[in-house]
Chains A and B, each alone.
Chain A
Amino acid sequence: MKNKLSHLAIPYVIWMALFVVAPIIMVVIYAFSSADGGFTLANFGKIGTYAVVFGRSFKLAIIATVICLAIGYPVSYMMSKEGPRFQRIAMVLIMLPMWMNFLLRTYSWMSILENNGLLNQLFQKIGLIALYNNIFGTDLQFFRMMNTQGAVVLGMVYNYLPFMILPIYSVIVKLDNSLIEAARDLGANSMNVFRRVILPLSLPGVLSGITMVFVPSVSTFAISKMLGGGTEILLGDLIEQQFLGGAYNPYLGSAISLVMMVIVVICMVVMNRFGEGEEQAVML
């Protein structure tokens, strides 16, 4: 009977071959082709000229990931210590923003960070800007927050923080309580319990959280365009420009995409080495 049941997967296997495997093969073919269809490595040579963009993307994505981890780990840990009712509501509250498209949320940040936006209005009211002018002898009317790298990082942290909290939380909440009790019985203080028991056991969740924040951060293009004002081009913007933007060149775009896939594969390999990624990978 088992073999009969396994036939149920056949339609999906065909679907995957068509819409997962074939498209990736297309990207690989395009990455190694020139406009006239011949084989070439020139596309990868051209990537070198965009080293700045690569550097910037990695820098911003790493900063955003570190901030997400710094906020997300304590939040998940604290959540797991609360009662079941609170945990349930907190989980819903963390997932809820995702049901509003991330573009809507990013758009809201635009009006907060603007030069005459809400945050600057607030700073004006409480006299922060006057204070700053007094101390540094400047003559600012507002703090420039839009169209900076800081704004882009903020957008990444805001949008991807739930992706850090959820996997870490789902691992911590399943930790065997008797292990912690055992550690305490054997004389470990709170610090040691955390460092030697909880932290190592929650590592799979942390790693999956890091991947889930880093990958979309390094490849985003809408956030950088909306909050960075198009001046801080990231890898995602670069790819988008090659396909739908002015600099139409799908061959170069495919080459950059291929590089990005390699980055993701490296992330996956690292993750799989630390634990069975499947279960913890995404438990929303």
Chain B
Amino acid sequence: MNKNNSFVNRLFMVLVFVFLYAPILLLIIFSFNAGSSNTIWKGFSLDWYQKLLHDRLIIQSVYTTILVSLLATVISTFAGTFAAIGFYAMRRRTREPLMTVNNIPMMNADIVTGVSLCLFFVAFFSQWSSFASWVNGIQSFFVLPTRLTLGFGTLLIAHITFNIPYVILSVSPKLRQMDKNLVDAAMDLGCTWMQAFWKVILPEIKPGIVSGALTAFTMSIDDFVISYFTAGTSSTLAMTIYGMTKKRVTPEINAVSTLLFVTVLILLAIINIREVRQERRRIVEQNRI
């Protein structure tokens, strides 16, 4: 497949990328618009960025989005890696049904995941409320809160739940590629299983963990539907925008989008440049040997 593409093929690819990026480019251009329209250009200004700084609602929802995505990514990367190792060490008969359950949140329609979690949380809260008032009734050392509501906590739980499967999915293949004897050898040489994990398994599966974390973060940032059903009183950026589209969307949204896009662009550029450098170094070292 070394044959290069013809001009027509290249043009087709360019058109697809234009299609993918035109709307994003528009958001960026109109974030600098002096007027409040998203269709008529009235000259350059930074007004919307300034207004954005004073918009409590949007700033708060950006904060919620980033916080929940980061927390969910960190927690699910840890939990997912341990779970993947656990699954790997299991007998096939135990592992397979568990992997099927693990695939459910990935395969299921987002709205079904969201709705089912919503139902579960609400049912749990009503049970909790009677349990808490019973506990509060029989003792007076501490007071349990009787009224729990959907909020940041449930949002975080939901995000962790749909992120872990992606981490497992990218860590598992790396585990299977690993030489099984390595762990046994480490243990024979006197490692405890914790040491075997840190010194042998972890370095082998690191690329899988990194790509799993990246996927988890992408999924968290991109999610709207599941958050919509589980966030309750707190609001992610997507939910805030969705609420606005029913009335009027302020161009501050363009400014937020631009800032987010530029941040992501810089992050990805750094990650990629680092990877390319590491690869080059590896090639150089191999040549030396």
Which residues of A are found within 8 Å of B3, using beta-carbon distances?
A: 81
Instruction: Please count how many residues in chain B sit with their CB below 8 Å of the partner chain's CB atoms.
Output: 97
B82 within 8 A of A: yes
A253 within 8 A of B: yes
B83 contacts A12, C-beta separation under 8 Å: yes
B70 within 8 A of A: no
CA distance A3 to B86 in the complex (A): 9
B184 contacts A261, C-beta separation under 8 Å: no
Taking chain B's interface residues, is the majority helix, strand, or loop, or is none over half, making it mixed? helix
18 contacts between A and B (CB under 8 A): A9-B87, A9-B89, A9-B90, A11-B82, A13-B83, A19-B157, A23-B120, A100-B264, A102-B222, A104-B27, A107-B249, A118-B26, A158-B20, A216-B109, A219-B111, A243-B118, A260-B109, A261-B112
B193 contacts A78, C-beta separation under 8 Å: no
Contact flags A250-263 to B (C-beta < 8 A → 1, else 0): 10011001001100
A85 smallest CB distance to B (angstroms): 9
B13 within 8 A of A: yes
A105 contacts B24, C-beta separation under 8 Å: yes
Closest B residue to A99 by beta carbon equals B264
List residues of chain A with CB under 8 Å of any chain B CB: 1-13, 15-16, 19-24, 26-27, 30, 71, 74-75, 78-82, 88, 90, 92-105, 107-112, 114, 116-118, 121, 158, 161-162, 175, 177, 180, 211, 215-216, 218-222, 225-226, 236, 239-240, 243-244, 250, 253-254, 257, 260-261, 264, 267-268, 278-279, 281-284
Closest B residue to A7 by beta carbon equals B86
Which residues of A are found within 8 Å of B141, using beta-carbon distances?
A: none
Q: Which of A158, A175, A226 contacts B19 (CB 8 A)?
A: A158
A49 smallest CB distance to B (angstroms): 20
Q: Which of B83, B173, B272 contacts A92 (CB 8 A)?
A: B272
Q: Which of A5, A104, A257 contacts B111 (CB 8 A)?
A: A257
Taking chain A's interface residues, is the majority helix, strand, or loop, or is none over half, making it mixed? helix
Q: Which of A78, A96, A175, A253 contacts B268 (CB 8 A)?
A: A96
A6 contacts B89, C-beta separation under 8 Å: yes
Which residues of B are found within 8 Å of A19, using beta-carbon distances?
A: 117, 120, 157-158, 161
List residues of chain B with CB under 8 Å of any chain A CB: 1-5, 9-10, 12-13, 16-17, 19-24, 26-27, 30, 38-39, 65, 79-80, 82-83, 85-90, 94, 98-99, 101-113, 115-120, 123, 157-158, 160-161, 164, 166, 169-170, 172-173, 183-184, 187, 193, 196-197, 211, 215, 218, 221-225, 228-229, 237-238, 241-242, 245, 249, 253, 257, 260-261, 264-265, 268, 272, 276
Which residues of B are found within 8 Å of A250, using beta-carbon distances?
A: 119
Closest B residue to A79 by beta carbon equals B13
CA distance A6 to B79 in the complex (A): 13
